[in-house]
Amino acid sequence: MPLADKIRPTSIDQVVGQTHLLGEGRPLRKIITSNQIPNMIFYGPSGVGKTTVARMIAENAGKRLHKLNGTTASLADIKQVVEELDTIMGQNGIILYLDEIQYLNKKQQQSLLEYIENGRITLIASTTENPYFYIYNAILSRSTVFEFKPISPEEMEPAVMRGFHLLAEEQQVELELEPGVAEHISRGCGGDVRKALNTVEICVLTADLKDGKKTVSLELAKELTQKSAMRYDRAGDEHYDLLSALQKSIRGSDENAALHYLARLLEAGDLLSPCRRLLVVASEDIGMAYPQAIAIVKACVDAAVQLGLPEARIPLAEAVVLLATAPKSNSSYMGINRAMADVRAGKGGTFPRCLQNMHYDGEGNEIKGQNYHYPHDYPHHYLPQQYMPDDLVGTVYYEYGPNKTEQAAKQYWEHIKKGD
């Protein structure tokens, strides 16, 4: 049996972390102690206690408990649970604990609806993915969602020490930990208790035995923990959360936070995602306030791709710091959004006559001639003429930002267009 299962909590007070849900007076604690169990969905990363709490609730409820895993459950498995409702075993109702519910398709989830609604089946589901994206809306509307959070290193350390003590007792050896071992494992597991305890187990297994005593060195703990701090799935929420955090930190001009999120992406071996996102940031968030940023970032990205990891971190760090400390403007980004909104609304379907690529005037044209004037033939390479479609004349999409670069351009064009 894995160490994580051996020391799995049996009471609320033994659960590591989740005080926002399980602390005194908190809602989930009240539900557990009341035994009045609503349909619930537990959302959060792996190894933070979702399954432990679900099992605790089911065991205390006095109802028949069925456990299914979304990765392997079929429609037949769900039908088997439903069939038990009409037997003696199901007369008090059934609790269905459905782990990884996001892997069930819509039809499988729909098959539960009738029984969830009339209360004959109480659903406790867990998921590592955002339930609002992956779970059928009708299930969500009949359930209460509780979000579980990663365990802090301070909350993790007592569990790590319990794991070491239990293994020492089982193996009947004296176990000595070098200073910093428990702390390093607690900080290096990314808030995942199961991952931390797996590391504890491997440390004890591989530690040298001498005269009935095992010593776990800090060096061994660092070697075995490796990159376990990286909670990262390129197809999951964590991937997009990291990229979002990187962009928002740059947008907020916090270069230190931006470097942190870049480091997490690179430490997970993801080079291309931050490269693409930095090119977006250069145009979306810096834009016209520092138009040269896109060229510099492109050069940094090209260098990073050519170098590969680990050296790629150097030009990418330069790009991140440049963007975070640069003046900000989203004026061009907002301008194209406004223009695309009009296009999608069907506006501007025609062209002014002077812009058309036509050199023949049909009999039906009242005004003969294209009447296009070549701006380069005029002072300052400018003269007023209609460029917008007739139904959009006067529409403004781009508004100059308050930064120095855009204000200089604004003043220049105001001067020219007034004919000063």
Q: Residue written as tokens 């930002």?
A: 401
Tell me the pLDDT tens digit for each residue of 258-301: 999 999 888 877 888 999 999 999 999 999 999 999 999 999 99
Q: Say yes or no: 70 and 123 in one domain.
A: yes
Distance CA 83, CA 221 (A): 50
Q: Say yes or no: 126 and 46 in one domain.
A: yes
Least confident of 30-44, 60-74, 150-164, 257-271: 60-74
Q: Say yes or no: 118 and 70 in one domain.
A: yes
pLDDT for position 246: 95
397 against 419, higher pLDDT:
397
Q: Say yes or no: 101 and 160 in one domain.
A: no
Using alpha carbons only, give the angle 8, 11, 14 rounded to the nearest 5 degrees: 65
pLDDT for position 283: 95
Q: Exposure string (b/e) for 62-87, b if CB count within 10 Å is 16 or more?
A: ebbbbebebeebeeeebeebbebbee
Q: Say yes or no: 177 and 194 in one domain.
A: yes
266 within some domain: yes
pLDDT for position 301: 95
230 within some domain: no
pLDDT for position 280: 95
DSSP state of 172: T
Q: What dihedral do alpha carbons 247, 248, 254, 258 form, nearest 10°?
A: -40
Q: Say yes or no: 81 and 139 in one domain.
A: yes
Q: Say yes or no: 125 and 29 in one domain.
A: yes
335 within some domain: no
249 within some domain: yes
Tell me the pLDDT tens digit for each residue of 349-393: 777 877 776 655 555 555 555 678 888 888 888 888 888 888 888
Q: Say yes or no: 169 and 213 in one domain.
A: yes
How many domains would you assign to the chain? 4
226 CB burial (10 A radius; 0-12, 13-18, 19+): exposed
Q: Residue written as tokens 């609304």?
A: 345
DSSP state of 44: S
Mean pLDDT of the chain: 85
Residue 227 pLDDT level (bands cut at 50, 70, 90)? low
pLDDT for position 232: 53
Asked whether the CA dihedral 260, 261, 264, 270 is positive or negative, the reply is negative
Q: In Å, what is the CA distance from 129 to each residue of 172, 237, 338?
A: 41, 6, 33
pLDDT for position 229: 46
Question: Which domain-ending residue is among 190, 225, 260?
Answer: 225
Distance CA 317, CA 300 (A): 9
Q: Is the pLDDT at 12 greater than 90, yes or no?
A: no
80 within some domain: yes
Question: Helices marked H in 272-403 — which ranges?
Answer: 272-281, 293-307, 313-325, 331-344
13 within some domain: no
Least confident of 162-176, 194-208, 335-349, 365-379: 365-379
Q: What average pLDDT does range 239-259 have in this prediction?
A: 91
- Strands 208-210 and 213-216 come out as antiparallel
Q: What average pLDDT does range 397-416 have in this prediction?
A: 90
Q: Say yes or no: 219 and 205 in one domain.
A: yes
Work out the percent of the chain whose per-residue pLDDT is above 70: 92
310 within some domain: yes
Q: What average pLDDT does range 151-175 have in this prediction?
A: 88
CATH number, domain with residue 220: 1.10.8.60
CATH number, domain with residue 397: 1.10.3710
Tell me the pLDDT tens digit for each residue of 44-100: 888 888 888 888 887 777 777 788 888 888 888 888 887 777 777 666 678 888 888
Q: Is the pLDDT at 164 greater than 70, yes or no?
A: yes
Residue 153 pLDDT level (bands cut at 50, 70, 90)? confident
pLDDT for position 365: 58
In 3-state terms, what secondary structure has residue 127?
A: strand
Q: Say yes or no: 220 and 241 in one domain.
A: no
Q: Is the pLDDT at 204 greater than 70, yes or no?
A: yes
Q: Is the pLDDT at 193 greater than 90, yes or no?
A: no
> Which residues, including other chains, have CB under 8 Å from residue 286's CB and lie 6 or more apart?
293, 294, 323, 326, 327, 328, 329
Q: Where are the beta strands (DSSP E) in 327-411?
A: none
CATH number, domain with residue 247: 1.20.272.10
Tell me the pLDDT tens digit for each residue of 300-358: 999 999 998 889 999 999 999 999 999 999 999 999 999 999 888 888 877 787 777 66
Q: Rg (Cα) of the chain, in Å, rounded?
A: 31
> Which residues, including other chains, have CB under 8 Å from residue 145's CB and lie 6 or more apart?
40, 41, 43, 131
> Which residues, including other chains, have CB under 8 Å from residue 123's CB and lie 6 or more apart?
39, 40, 41, 96, 98, 112, 116, 139, 143
- Residue 406 has a CB neighbour count (10 Å cut-off) of 21
- With residue 115 as reference, give the H or E element that holds it: helix 113-117
Closest to 112 measured CA to CA, from 53, 52, 66: 66
Q: Say yes or no: 24 and 143 in one domain.
A: yes
Residue type, position 12, single letter: I
Give first-to-last CA distance, the chain, whole Å.
85
Least confident of 247-251, 366-370, 392-396, 406-410: 366-370
Question: Which domain-ending residue is among 198, 225, 252?
Answer: 225
Residue 226 pLDDT level (bands cut at 50, 70, 90)? low
Q: Does the N-terminal peptide bond of residue 310 adopt cis geometry, omega within 30 degrees of 0?
A: yes
CATH number, domain with residue 104: 3.40.50.300
338 within some domain: no
Question: Which domain-ending residue is among 225, 245, 267?
Answer: 225
Q: Say yes or no: 171 and 135 in one domain.
A: no
Residue 228 pLDDT level (bands cut at 50, 70, 90)? very low
pLDDT for position 239: 75
What is the domain extent for residue 70? 18-147
